Amino acid sequence: MKNKFLTTMTALTMTAGLVMGQDKAMDTEASKVTWKGYKVTGSHEGTVNLKNGTLNFENDKLLGGEFTVDMTSLTSTDLEGEWQQKLNGHLKSDDFFGVESHPEAKLTIKEAKAKGKNAYAVSGDITIKGTTEPVSFDLSVYGSKATATLKLDRTRFGLKYGSGSFFDNLGDKTIYDEFDLVVDLQF
């Protein structure tokens, strides 16, 4: 009777594990988040480090996920020396991401709909500078890698500095509202 009970409990535990799915933690050292912002006279790009993240799967089907980005690691990669330090400082200031008060940004995937083999239409919430907004994007998963490109409107998060949508007569000092994030995850 005791063996029957243990066998039943083991089977239930294994079945529950299959039904509940599997969380796959991101390899934060191997994963990469690249940003690119645009202005009238060109663009700037750089990186920001993934602090932690998890994708949730059930039977190899993506269900959701959650990610935290370390905003203190925000850096430009297209400049060097004094100009890089100035841009990094400005991006971390309250004019933009207010990193001292908001050292993290978060993304929560609430829904993932299969669009084909290894491709998903994802929707969820992203929090930047203390403001949470809905977001939708495509995500591809291949083996132990996932990739996505997001286009975000910075003004939705209160980042209005240099925006032609809020200020007149900026001329060539105008910074476009949308910026790109290219995410390459490994787990």
Domain boundaries of the chain, sorted by first residue: 21-186
Whether residue 168 has pLDDT greater than 50: yes
Confidence tier at 1 by pLDDT (50, 70, 90): low
pTM of the model: 0.85
Whether residue 12 has pLDDT greater than 60: no
Letter string b/e over residues 39-78, b meaning 16 or more CB atoms within 10 A of that residue's CB: eeeeebbbebbbbebbbbbeeeebbbbbbbbbbbbbbbee
Whether residue 174 has pLDDT greater than 60: yes
Confidence tier at 10 by pLDDT (50, 70, 90): very low
pLDDT score, position 16: 43
Confidence tier at 21 by pLDDT (50, 70, 90): confident
Q: What is the DSSP secondary structure assignment for residue 93, as one 8-state letter? A: S
Confidence tier at 14 by pLDDT (50, 70, 90): very low
Q: Degrees (nearest 5) of the Cα angle 111, 24, 112?
A: 15
Above pLDDT 90, what percent of the chain? 87
SS3 92: helix
What value does the mean pLDDT of the chain take?
91
For 101-138, the pLDDT digits (tens) are 999 999 999 999 999 889 999 999 999 999 999 999 99
Write down the residue that tokens 């190899």 correspond to.
60
For 82-95, the pLDDT digits (tens) are 999 999 999 999 99
Written as six digits, the tokens of 178 are 């949308």
Whether residue 4 has pLDDT greater than 90: no
Are 86 and 95 within 8 A, CB to CB? no
**What's the topology of domain 21-186?**
Lipocalin (2.40.128)
Could you count the other beta carbons within 10 Å of the beta carbon of residue 14?
10
pLDDT score, position 9: 45
